[in-house]
Amino acid sequence: MGFFNCHDLHLVKLPFHRALQTLSEKYGPIFALRLGSRPVVVVSSPSAVEECFTKNDIVLANRPHFLSGKHLGYNHTTVDALPYGEDWRNLRRLCSIEILSSNRLNMFLGIRSDEAKLLLRRLSQDSRDKFAKVELKSLFSKLTFNTITRTIAGKRYHGEEVGMEEVKQFREIIGRFLSWVGLQTRWTSCPYWSGLTMGLQEEADEAQ
């Protein structure tokens, strides 16, 4: 297993996953690095990743405590931030039964089908007169997002027909949430800078 020490996060070339791929070509499919104060093990081998999620899933089930888990994850009590244990197993069981079971997925089939039809209609309208370039990334993102929000809240938050004030506010909150989650990772890698994160913490509490 190779080792790479990376104290200067800002020197790592983006996109970050490609930088990790370059490092794996040099140090091997499994290597350790240090991001600021945090030790990290990077696994790029498919067979090794499979073992991580089968034979060693319990050993690797815990996740580090980030500011996002504290301020946006209700003090690390959501399924993606909760440490492995009885509470986490109960949450996973609830997710499996109430969200991911065959019965539930069949109940939401109409929503997925409807959103796919709306996407195809949009593509048809955009290219009605002639061939046209289409930026699919944003369309698929909106498709996924609308499917999730309709499943959870019964509402669409993307589309030309959507123009409610509530929708505008919701999009703004989600945008702030995602930008904050990405930004705070840099600060949690250097906990000795915690005094500089007060503004971020206040913004996270407001978004919550």
- Pick from 5-19, 107-121, 193-207 the range whose average pLDDT is largest: 107-121
Helix (H, G, I), strand (E, B) or coil at 31: strand
Instruction: Give how far Cα 166 sits from Cα of 157, 162, 169, 170, Å.
Output: 9, 10, 5, 6
Evaluate whether residue 76 is within a structural domain. no
Query: Does the pLDDT at position 180 exceed 60?
Result: yes
Q: What is the number of structural domains in the chain? A: 1
Q: Is there a contact between 189 and 35 (Cβ–Cβ < 8 Å)?
A: yes
Evaluate whether residue 199 is within a structural domain. no
Evaluate whether residue 79 is within a structural domain. no
Which tokens sit at 126? 């955009």
Evaluate whether residue 160 is within a structural domain. no
Evaluate whether residue 188 is within a structural domain. no
Q: How far apart are CA 200 and CA 180, in angstroms?
A: 7
Q: How confident is the model at residue 204 (pLDDT cuts 50, 70, 90)?
A: low
Q: Is there a contact between 82 and 74 (Cβ–Cβ < 8 Å)?
A: no
- The pLDDT mean for the chain works out to 78
Helix (H) or strand (E) holding 101: none
> Could you read off the pLDDT of 24-40 as tens digits, one per residue?
888 889 988 877 677 88
Nearest residue to 173 via CA among 206, 202, 141: 206
Evaluate whether residue 33 is within a structural domain. yes
Q: Is there a contact between 69 and 62 (Cβ–Cβ < 8 Å)?
A: no
Evaluate whether residue 197 is within a structural domain. no
Residue 85: what pLDDT?
Answer: 87
Which tokens sit at 99? 């969200």
Tell me the whole-structure pTM to 2 decimals. Answer: 0.61
Range of the domain at 29: 1-60
User: Before 83, cis peptide (omega within 30)?
Assistant: no
Residue 93: what pLDDT?
Answer: 92
Q: How far apart are CA 203 and CA 208, in angstroms?
A: 9
Residue 38 Ramachandran class (φ > 0 left, ψ -120 to 50 alpha, else beta) = beta
